Structures are given as C-alpha cells and as structure tokens.
Structure 1
Amino acid sequence: MTPPTPEVDHSKEESFDTMASPDLEMNGTQTGYLANDFVKSFGWKDLQVKVKDRKTKAPLSILSEAAGIVEAGEMLAIMGPSGSGKTTLLNALAHRVAAAGATTTGNILANGQKLSLQLVRDLSSYVEQEDALIGSLTVRETMVFAARLALPSTVTKKEAFQRVDDLIKSFGLQSQSDTIVGTPIKKGLSGGQKKRLGVASRLVTNPKILFLDEPTSGLDSALSLEVCSYIKGIGRRNNLVIVASIHQPSSSTFQQFDKLCLLSQGKTCYFGPVADATAYFGRIGYAIPPETNSAEFFLDLINTDLDKTGEIVRRTEHICEAWTNSPEHTQLEETIQKSVQEPDNDLAHYKSVKPSVWMPPAVLLRRSFIKSYRDIMAYGIRIAMYFGLAILMGTVFLRFSTDQKYIQPFINAIFFSSAFMSFMAVAYVPAFLEDLNTFRQERANGLVGPLSFMVSNFIIGLPFLFAITVLFSVIEYFMSNFRPSGTAFFTWVAWLFLDLVAAESLVVLVSSFFNVFVVALAITAFANGLWMCVDGFLVPMTILNVFWKYVFHYIDYQAYVFQGMMVNEFKYRTYDCAKAGSGYQCNYPSDLNSVGKIRGTDVLSEYSISTGLEGEWFGIMIGIIAGYRILAYIVLVLRK
C-alpha cells in the first residue's frame, strides 16, 4: 500500500503547548497535554491484505474489503475468533507489516485524507499485547523516559514532568509512582497496573490516534474493566481516536466500547455502534437469548474453529453477506465517502515537532545505567558469578612457583580464565532481550533508532565489564602467583577486559538475530564452545585441522586473548627443571637446559605463539568487537 504522502509544512514548527487546548481538564488538573483538536475522524476503505498460499502459492486474502470510521473521542473494539484477522487489521491501520510476506492495499484516512507511514507514526502510538516495560524502573521513571524520548526540546523539563504527573494521576497510579514495574526477583506492579502504565507511557508522546493490541490479555474480568475504563476516560476527555483488538471481553468491558468491528476469516460481519449490534443481529435472524453476554454470543456465531458439520461456515457466510447488503453498510460507505469529499482540518498543516537528535542516545544511556546497577539480572548475577569463579580459581591454582611442573597448570589457568570468563557472558542474554523488546516497540512508534540503541548499549556496559575484570583479576592473579609485575597485571586486565567486551558483543549480535531466550542462549553457548576448541590450547596450531584453523581460528577472539595472556606470562620468565642424578630433566627444549632452566619463550614456541605481535592482536580484538557491534546494528536496521 503506497498512498501519496501529504505535504507537511515544517517551516513554522510550534511547541507542544501551542498545539494543545489550554482548557483541558484531567482529574481536576489544568493542562494542555493530550488535547486533540486536529484529528476529527480516522477511517479506512477497501482495505485488503493478501499473502501467498503455502501450498498453491496463489494469492490468499486474509483481510477482505475492510471499511470503517471512528470519530474523535470514540473507542472501537475489533473482535473476532482466533485467526479472524483482528491483529492483521490493527497492524494494517497502523501502517505496520500486517502479516509475514503480506501485501496491503486500500486507503487509510484521517479527516478524509490519505495517510503516509510517517504521518501515521506522527499522529499515533501503538501499544502491543506484550508489555515492553523495563522491570527495574519505577512508574515515574518509565513515564519520564518516555516523555524525554518523544517531547521536543521546546518543552521544558518542568513542563514534561508536570505532564507525566498528570497522566500518572489520570490512570490512578499516583500511589505507585515510586514502585518499580517488577522483575523476576522483585515484585512490583500488578498485571492491571502494568497495562495502565503501558498505555500511559504511550500517551505521554501526545498521540491523536491510539492503537491497542489485546489490552486486556492476561487479565481477569475485573482488571479488564479497570483498564478499559481508564483508557475510555482518557480518550473521551481528550478527544482521542482509540482502536483496540480484544478477545472475549466480559459484558461490562464490552460496553465500554463505542463501536464494534466484528471479523471472521478476514471478512466484516458487522461495523457500527455497540449499542446497535444486538438489534442488528436480531433483525437478520440471530436474536440474543436473555441474560447472555452479547460479546460471547457474537463470537460463538462466527467461530468456525468449532465447526464440525459446516453449519457455522454457512452461517458465517450468511452473516457476512447480510452485512454487505445491509443499510448499515451502505450508510458506513456514505459516511466514509462524505469524509473524503469534505475533508476537515487539512493534514498538510500538521506540524510534527521532534526532540533534538542527541536526546534519544542520552535518554537511553541514562535509562540503561539505572537498569544496570538496579537490576540484578543485568550485571549483579554476573558479578557474583565472576567473584565465585575468582575464588574457585585462586584456591585451585594456588601459589604456583616457577618450577617446570607448574608450567602446564599456569597455561591451564590462563585458558580457563579467558575461556570461561567469556563463556559466562551468556548470563547477559535475558537482560539484553528485555532491552531489545523495549527498543522494538519504541522504534515502531518512531521514538528510537538502531544507532542510538546500539551505541548506548555498548557505552553503558564498559564500566561494569571493567569493574568485573578488575574484581576477578585482583583475586585470582595474585593468588595463583602470575608474573609479579604491575605492568604484567595491568596487561592481564587489558586482555581480560577485551575478552569480556567481545563476549558481550557476541551476545548482542546473536540475541539481535535470534531474539528468543532459549535460542539465543544455545547459539551463544555453542559459539563460545567453538572458540574454545580452536583457540590453540586444546589442539595446538601445528596439528589443528586446516578447515578449523583457516575458517574459524583467525576470527576467534579467545585465540588472541589466550595468546596475549600467554606472552604476558611467559615472555619474561624462566623455569627450573627437575634434577635427575647429576643432570637435569627438562620438559621443554631450551638453550638453558644445560643449566637446569627453561626459557618462557620456548614454552610459547611449543604453542606456536610468537612475541612482538601484541599490538597487532589488540587491534584485531578491537576490530572483532567493532565487527560484532556493526553486524548487530545492521541486523536491527534490516529488521524494521
């Protein structure tokens, strides 16, 4: 669907305040926030969504000839059984991908004028079914960060905070304003409160149209009514257009909606006022029995999933045909056509005012920092893990000396330090996926781009990874008696820090591509296992299979860390051989064997490790880290 893009005049951009009504009242608080005098109506006509049939590859319609119109201040319920096209229609209206591989045609209108993708984003916000809230933030912090991502620089901090407080009060969350959303470890808001916060955090962006995908999913009837009541109150007071898909609402929840769009198998069964639906279905031969939930009755009428005899399919076809030939359908078409012929409030005059280009990365940095130190799942658990690993290694590899019998244990300790430190970075997967889910929804609403997200994620992790590296090294390095030199210690820290940054960058890349927890965890663990196998320790480079050597070894960040730490330990050390009678028995050939010594450089030769290449290895490590991050950025860019 490629409707023409209306011309938008940016020459005289106004502040947020000048676009809103100063007389708006929200719970007794005078504010200009959320007032909508611009969008009078939102409609769609001849909307079709087609995909390819998996078997025949022929076009298959999953949404047919959909039409509807919602006035400002009204709330529309899109209902239907599973697979009826509810989410497909909602996504099409929001100019999102309606379905995988789908082609969307038709007209999406506001004030009778066609909307482009950019204008839909400027005018609307979309609240997805799954919560995209960061659990370690409080209610007020969540709202403040949402406001700072959306509001233009012309809005002062004081004004933004006032608007946040107004919305918190309007959604009945003032007593929870300093309560965290909730993490797997620490309880926070209830399910209904999270739903209200999710909607409120989108309203803070000042949308004129609000799309809601299953806003009552996972809630009981009482909480569903609570959430819908708050949403309806906000929409009615502020003249918002609200379009929500909803599944099997209770009778009281259903009555909160002004209009109903009933779908079955992608076809419209009814569109019109909720109050008129009962009479309409009675007129076409489907009267509702007394004391029956009308919403459930409508859904049962057209739920073809329960059909065993073909009766429900025939009944649904009759209902769809009756709607097409009904006077209500004719009146709907005339209303839409009239809005097109007599457009109200020209969209070309709409001015979208955006925040400064530096605001999104600054906000994401601040938000990520709060999460990083407050959410134990982000770095707290990893700090505890690495602390335990340091104690384990320090006591197992305890106080080695420069006797040749400790050469192999020294090498084992170096390998174990680098390989397992990077392997344990898989603990970052759940925290990153939470951030990624939040980013996806904010990006879909036009608030954040991939570059801001990736840069802030990278920067905020560096101090925590460095702290982890120093904590581990202070314990393990001196307990194991690695080379006692300040230069050697800080070189060790540098290598281990690069190791952790590369490991976390790998987690980011894999999780960006496979954003399912179990899949991302498994692939990251497998990749680290592969790097361990080809880094030159388990199998020396002299005998490593050429395929693994030339395909994987040279892009293995663990290999360069292992080599760098080996050179740091062995380049400047000599080791004592064991005495054997009047001579010495040395395990490594060296020009010092005759005096009972082994040069550390000769140990390096056994592993085909050269000296003097440390700077090159540092550069390669930085390149690998940059490569992981750039690839992750490209993945996010391509996954629009």
Structure 2
Amino acid sequence: MESEKLSGDVESQHPPHAHLINDVVQTFSWKQLNVVVKDRKTKKPLSILENSNGIVHAGEMISIMGPSGSGKTTLLNALAHRVATAGAKTVGEILINHQTPSLQKLQDVSTYVEQEDALIGSLTVHETVDFAARMALSSSLGKNERLLRVDDLISSFGMQGQRDTIVGTPIKKGLSGGQKKRLGVASRLVTEPKIVFLDEPTSGLDSSLSFEIISYLKTIARTNNLLVIASIHQPSTTTFNLFDKLCLLSRGQTCYFGDLAEARPYFSNIGLEMPEATNPAEFYLDLINTDLAREGDETYQRLQRIIQAWKDSPQWKVLERQLKREHAAGHGDAMVTDLASIKTERPSSWATSVVLLNRGWIKAYRDFVAYGIRLVMYLGLAILMGTVFLRLKTTQSHIQPFINAIFFGGAFMSFMAVAYVPAYLEDRATFAKERANGLVGPLAFIVSNFLIGLPFLFLITVTFSVVTYWLSNFRPSGTGFWMWVLWLFLDLVAAESLVVLVSSVFPIFVVALAVTAFANGLWMCVDGFLVPMNILNPFWKYVFHYIDYQAYVFQGMMVNEFKDRTYSCESTGNGSYYCSYQSNLNSEGKIDGAAVLSTYNIALDQMGSWVGIIIGIIVGYRVLGYIAIRIRKD
C-alpha cells in the first residue's frame, strides 16, 4: 500500500510526457543466462553469473540488487547485449516479445544509462537533450516537433527552471548532482526507447535525491509503458518501494526474483522474518552479503540455504512456467508486436557528423579547458621565446641562436600538445557511451574531432607567431611570416593527431600523457638538429627520422629562414674576415644562408614534398586512431 501511495503521489507531481507513448515492447525475458570468465590464478572457467532467469513487462520497474561483486552490472550488461566484463563469455536466451533480438534491434528499442553518464559540462540542459535527439532521431521528424519533444521531456523531469543552465565544468559551477542524474536519464529517453537499462542511477546521491530520481523514472515508465531495468545499491525504504519487481543476486546466483510486495512473505516462509521498522533493502542485502564470510561458517551456510530455497520454491516454478510459455510463443502470438515490424529511423553518418561538429564547436569555444588554457599557455611560451631570442642580428654569431630558436619553436609547440590529452579523453568517453547506444560511429567521431580542432589550432599558431616571429627578428617579410605559420600549423595538427592516436590506444590519462611525451622526446632527438643527419645512428635515422613530422617542420622552417638571407662575417681587421660557414660570399664578408642549410644536409627545393609528407603523417595518425577506437569497444 505504501508503494502504491508513493507512486500516486509521484504521478500527481509530475506531468506525463506526451511523446513517449509506446506499446511495441510488451515483455522482456531471459533464461539460463550465464557469464563465464577465466580465473586469473587457476586459468580455469569461473562463473560470475549463473543460470539467471527473469521476465519484466511493459510499465514495470525492476531493481537488481546485491552486495558488491554480486553480478549486478554483469547481469545488466549481459541483458543489454554489452560486454559483461573483460574476457567474458555470455550464453543464454534473451527475448523481446517472445523473439530473439539482434544487437541492432536491441539498440533500436533500448537505451543504457551508465553509472557515470558522460555529460558535456559546457552545454546547457536544453542543448544536451537536443543534441541527443538530433543524433538519434530522423531528420524527417521536423525541427519544431523535435524541439517540442525536448522541451516536454525537460519539463517532465522538472528541469524547466534549469533549461539554459550549463551542466558544469571544473571552473564553472552548473547543475547539482541530482539534476545531472536526471539530465543523464532525460537525454537518453529523448530517443523514445522502449526498454531502459540503468546502472546504479542513485550512486553518489543522498536518500532524498535518490527518491527524486527514481520517482521521475516511475512516472515516465508508467505513463509511457516503458520497461525499466536498474541495478541499485542500498536504496532507502521509500526509494526501494517505488520498484515493481526485485532481483536479488549474491556471488552471481539468484536469491530471489519476483514482485517486490511478495519478497517479505517469501523470506518469512523460509524462516527469515524481517523485523518491524526495518529498511527492507538493507535487510535483504544483509541476508545475502558474504563479504566477511568464510566457507563453512554460519553466514556462508545461510547464503547456500537461501540459494537452494529459491531453486526449490513455488515462486521459481511459477517463473519457470512463465519463461517456458514466453519462449514457446515465438512469432505466432498475435497479441505481441513482431520485432521485424519495429522500424527505427536513424540519421545518416553525414548528418551525425554535422551534429557532432555543431556540438564540438560549442564545447570548444565555451570550455576554457579545451583550447582556452592552451592558447594562454602557447602565448606564454611565445613571450618567453620572443624575449629570450630577442632581436637576433644578421651576424654569424647569431646564426646558431636562430637555428636554436627554430628548433625550440617547432619542438616545444609540438611537445606542449600533450595538454590536449584530457580534453580528448573527455570527448572519447562521451563517444564511447553514445556508440554503445548505437548513436555515433567511429568515423563520424574522428572526422568531427579533426575538423573542430583546425580553426583553434590555426588561431594558436597565429597568436604564437605574431609575438615570436617579429620579436626574434626572423626573416622580415610577409611571405616569410606566413610560411612560418604554415609550418607551425602543420606541426600542431600533426602533434594533436598523435595525441588522438595515443589516447585512442591508451585511454588512460597518465598512460596517454607518458606515451605522448615519450614520442615527442623521440621526435626531438631524431629530427636532425640535436644530431646532424650525417652522423645520426643508422637505426634511428632509417627507422624513425623519416616518419618524424618534426624533422620536416625543422627543415621547412630552416629553409624559410636561411634560403634568401645573408649574414655578416666577423671582421679580423685590415679588410679581412673570419666566416664560420663557407660560401661564395665570404670574400665580401658575408655568409650565404644556403651554406647553413648545406651544413645540415637540408635541400632547398623539397618544401612541397615535405608538406605532402606531413599531411600524409597526419592522415596516417588519424586513420590509425580511427582503427584503434573501432577495435576497442570500451
């Protein structure tokens, strides 16, 4: 009765959502679901989910509960056709409306809300839900209808007051924890799913906020006939009573499955009476929690008794008969919707790329962490470099400082691209979750990520160059300046592409940072400045130098500076000169800049080839990055 009262109160508080009505999924069931991994010590098969069975009907909410390590998330992932855990093998039957769904069909009719949903902090509430709609709904829907659906859903989750509030970034506060949870669910429901999987939607929230989240879900589920399957950990009594069904797991085995209201009398019948004024969720979890138990002790024996009692119970036999009917019905049941008749239109890859570009552009210019900090960082580097290599002269004693400045500018611009690692990993995390829900593909993500970065990298390059080029007194011409900009721009694009590749292969912040820094250190060593090419070890020369984009940048910037410039020799008196570089201008007391290039074995007429090679390296990095995220499913 308490549960019914709470449900009624919730429905009276929140208006129903008019655009999610669906009755195409009547039942969702699973039978003999097993997940097996290889034991790390014995290398033998280890069952982490054993013979799980269940059935849920449209409009119902089921809570999957159990102590840590009981298999809650494993079961949820297995039901959603996701990788249950690393290296796991999943077997068993999963049916929707008596029919076996493909992965694509399940993605079409369901959505999965992760425990930590990847919301983009610089977007507003409305933009977050709207972008989710644009990535999932066909363009034939129409802009006005889409926006109406978005606004209605925001209103249904009680967030109309925060419509234009940003989610929140590390340097700008936005939504509260509970509001973020609601927004995460709302952004998934805009796709009109029929089945909703939720992994611990109340984690990190107090009892009041937890009740708020589940009550909103209850309203949406009942009003729109959705089927909700949620793993949840230690809810309050009021939150727990909002669910319709309960699945209790311990050590991967089922301890109870059935109506929530029947759980208490069931455990009473097997001699486990719940005391009055007790939180039922805590009572059930305490019964099956064996974290501190040892094999053979009282707690362990109690768990074994509970598991065996469930296998022998009338409730299990009723569930077994239900599943037999469910699995025997098949396509011939006229009372259920044929899965083949459910058609879900999704935007094309091109349309998805445009949406990602739009969203990425907003994130890039709003989020100071993404490019703003890098712009300030590079500006600081420019002031440092410009004042250290200040007003170099066209004398032979300043030739080496010019060369040092060229190396420093190109190498450290590239090296400091490691600052892009956290921003890319955030984007990649968002992509991984959207991809798992069948919304975004690797190609659209890689293309949009590349295109969004170009204008910001060009802005960074020009800002750096305006300060450094003229302070250091490089070749004073418009052509020289823009060639310098070109080489540094290609340098930054290649460096950022390297970050994308490394972070796609190693999507862990510290690892990606270390590998990218090491790679940049390697490129510095073999680019031809620290060790001239004529004495560089053949291994490093032939294995790494020719794929080192910094080498071509260094050579291009050297040609840009020295090809058309002359430098004065040191006078020794009596009209004679000492020239440190031999050229045909030595007799005039000058050094032809081409002589400097000759010392470094740099050709004068290969700039076009070098540009092409760098572009090829950039494309190669991006293609390898695409392959990496296509292969990885996390």
Normalized against structure 2, the TM-score is what? Answer: 0.95
Matches within 5 A, 1:257-296: 257-296=243-282
Could you say which residue in structure 2 is the equivalent of 1:552? 544
Candidates 598, 611, 635, aligned match of 2:604: 611
Matches within 5 A, 1:234-313: 234-308=220-294, 310-313=297-300
Cα distance, 1:355 vs. partner?
Answer: 2.1
Query: In the aligned structure 1, how far is the partner of 2:110 from the partner of 2:12?
Result: 21
Q: Deviations over 1:77-115 (max 9, x none)?
A: 111111111111000100011111111111111122222
Query: In the aligned structure 1, how far is the partner of 2:317 from the partner of 2:399?
Result: 88
Could you say which residue in structure 1 is the equivalent of 2:203? 217
Could you say which residue in structure 2 is the equivalent of 1:150? 136
Matched-pair contact (CA < 8 Å) for 1:180–1:188: yes
Tell me the SS of whatever aligns to 1:133.
coil
Tell me the SS of whatever aligns to 1:626.
helix
Q: Deviations over 1:347-369 (max 9, x none)?
A: 22211222234220010000000
Candidates 596, 608, 629, aligned match of 2:589: 596
Candidates 165, 168, 175, aligned match of 1:189: 175
Matches within 5 A, 1:436-455: 436-455=428-447
Name the aligned partner's letter for residue 581 of structure 2.
Answer: Y
Query: In the aligned structure 2, how far is the partner of 1:25 from the partner of 1:438?
Result: 34
Matched-pair contact (CA < 8 Å) for 1:26–1:237: no
Query: In the aligned structure 2, how far is the partner of 1:154 from the partner of 1:569?
Result: 56
Query: In the aligned structure 2, how far is the partner of 1:83 from the partner of 1:365?
Result: 40
Query: In the aligned structure 1, how far is the partner of 2:30 from the partner of 2:89?
Result: 16
Is 1:41 equivalent to 2:27 in the alignment?
Answer: yes
Q: Deviations over 1:40-88 (max 9, x none)?
A: 1111011111112223322221111110011111111111111111111
Query: In the aligned structure 2, how far is the partner of 1:357 from the partner of 1:217?
Result: 34
Is 1:204 equivalent to 2:190 in the alignment?
Answer: yes
Could you say which residue in structure 2 is the equivalent of 1:569? 561
Matched-pair contact (CA < 8 Å) for 1:126–1:445: yes
Could you say which residue in structure 2 is the equivalent of 1:433? 425
Cα distance, 1:249 vs. partner?
Answer: 1.4
Matched-pair contact (CA < 8 Å) for 2:14–2:158: no
Could you say which residue in structure 1 is the equivalent of 2:7? none
Tell me the SS of whatever aligns to 2:458.
helix
Could you say which residue in structure 1 is the equivalent of 2:631? 638
Q: Deviations over 1:361-399 (max 9, x none)?
A: 010000000011000011101111111111121111111
Tell me the SS of whatever aligns to 1:505.
helix
Query: In the aligned structure 2, how far is the partner of 1:368 from the partner of 1:129?
Result: 23
Query: In the aligned structure 2, how far is the partner of 1:35 from the partner of 1:337?
Result: 29
Query: In the aligned structure 2, how far is the partner of 1:495 from the partner of 1:125?
Result: 46
Matches within 5 A, 1:368-407: 368-407=360-399
Q: Deviations over 1:17-56 (max 9, x none)?
A: xxxxxxx99955773x111211111110111111122233
Q: Deviations over 1:154-178 (max 9, x none)?
A: 2010000000001100111110010
Matched-pair contact (CA < 8 Å) for 1:153–1:356: no
Cα distance, 1:232 vs. partner?
Answer: 1.1
Matched-pair contact (CA < 8 Å) for 2:16–2:223: no
Query: In the aligned structure 2, how far is the partner of 1:548 from the partner of 1:44?
Result: 57
Query: In the aligned structure 2, how far is the partner of 1:254 from the partner of 1:341?
Result: 33
Matched-pair contact (CA < 8 Å) for 1:26–1:166: no
Tell me the SS of whatever aligns to 1:305.
coil
Query: In the aligned structure 2, how far is the partner of 1:346 from the partner of 1:553?
Result: 60
Query: In the aligned structure 1, how far is the partner of 2:604 from the partner of 2:302?
Result: 81
Query: In the aligned structure 2, how far is the partner of 1:448 from the partner of 1:145?
Result: 12
Query: In the aligned structure 2, how far is the partner of 1:630 from the partner of 1:237?
Result: 46
Query: In the aligned structure 1, how far is the partner of 2:12 from the partner of 2:411?
Result: 60
Could you say which residue in structure 2 is the equivalent of 1:331? 318
Matched-pair contact (CA < 8 Å) for 1:26–1:170: no
Could you say which residue in structure 2 is the equivalent of 1:524? 516
Could you say which residue in structure 2 is the equivalent of 1:13? none
Matched-pair contact (CA < 8 Å) for 2:16–2:220: no
Query: In the aligned structure 1, how far is the partner of 2:498 from the partner of 2:410?
Result: 15
Query: In the aligned structure 2, how far is the partner of 1:519 from the partner of 1:59?
Result: 31
Matched-pair contact (CA < 8 Å) for 1:127–1:213: yes
Name the aligned partner's letter for residue 208 of structure 1.
Answer: K
Is 1:119 equivalent to 2:105 in the alignment?
Answer: yes
Could you say which residue in structure 2 is the equivalent of 1:3? none
Is 1:625 equivalent to 2:618 in the alignment?
Answer: yes
- Bigger drift between 38-47 and 309-318 goes to 309-318
Q: Deviations over 1:580-622 (max 9, x none)?
A: 2332222223333233211111111222212111111111100
Query: In the aligned structure 1, how far is the partner of 2:152 from the partner of 2:514?
Result: 45
Q: Quickly say closer, same or farther: Cα 1:114–1:25, change in 2 above 3 A.
A: farther
Query: In the aligned structure 1, how far is the partner of 2:15 from the partner of 2:430?
Result: 32
Q: Quickly say closer, same or farther: Cα 1:357–1:183, change in 2 above 3 A.
A: same
Is 1:500 equivalent to 2:492 in the alignment?
Answer: yes
Matched-pair contact (CA < 8 Å) for 1:112–1:336: no
Q: Deviations over 1:551-587 (max 9, x none)?
A: 1111111111001000110111111111123322222
Name the aligned partner's letter for residue 612 of structure 2.
Answer: G
Could you say which residue in structure 2 is the equivalent of 1:10? none
Unaligned 5+ segments in structure 2 are 1-10
Could you say which residue in structure 1 is the equivalent of 2:126? 140
Tell me the SS of whatever aligns to 2:81.
coil
- Bigger drift between 496-505 and 52-61 goes to 52-61
Could you say which residue in structure 1 is the equivalent of 2:59? 73
Candidates 142, 146, 154, aligned match of 1:160: 146
Is 1:351 equivalent to 2:343 in the alignment?
Answer: yes
Matched-pair contact (CA < 8 Å) for 2:396–2:570: yes
Q: Deviations over 1:192-250 (max 9, x none)?
A: 10010000000000100000011111111111111111111111111100001111112
Is 1:540 equivalent to 2:527 in the alignment?
Answer: no
Query: In the aligned structure 2, how far is the partner of 1:577 from the partner of 1:353?
Result: 73
Q: Deviations over 1:105-160 (max 9, x none)?
A: 11111122222111111110000111210000000000110001111122010000
Normalized against structure 1, the TM-score is what? Answer: 0.94
Candidates 392, 401, 409, aligned match of 2:401: 409
- Bigger drift between 150-159 and 594-603 goes to 594-603
Matched-pair contact (CA < 8 Å) for 2:27–2:57: yes
Tell me the SS of whatever aligns to 1:199.
helix
Query: In the aligned structure 1, how far is the partner of 2:72 from the partner of 2:596?
Result: 68
Matched-pair contact (CA < 8 Å) for 2:124–2:166: yes
Query: In the aligned structure 1, how far is the partner of 2:595 from the partner of 2:136?
Result: 61
Size of the alignment, in residue pairs?
A: 616
Tell me the SS of whatever aligns to 2:203.
coil
Q: Quickly say closer, same or farther: Cα 1:27–1:248, change in 2 above 3 A.
A: closer
Name the aligned partner's letter for residue 415 of structure 2.
Answer: F
Tell me the SS of whatever aligns to 1:47.
strand
Matched-pair contact (CA < 8 Å) for 2:14–2:157: no
Cα distance, 1:340 vs. partner?
Answer: 2.8
Cα distance, 1:289 vs. partner?
Answer: 2.1
Cα distance, 1:444 vs. partner?
Answer: 0.5
Matched-pair contact (CA < 8 Å) for 1:191–1:219: yes
Tell me the SS of whatever aligns to 2:534.
coil
Matched-pair contact (CA < 8 Å) for 2:17–2:223: no
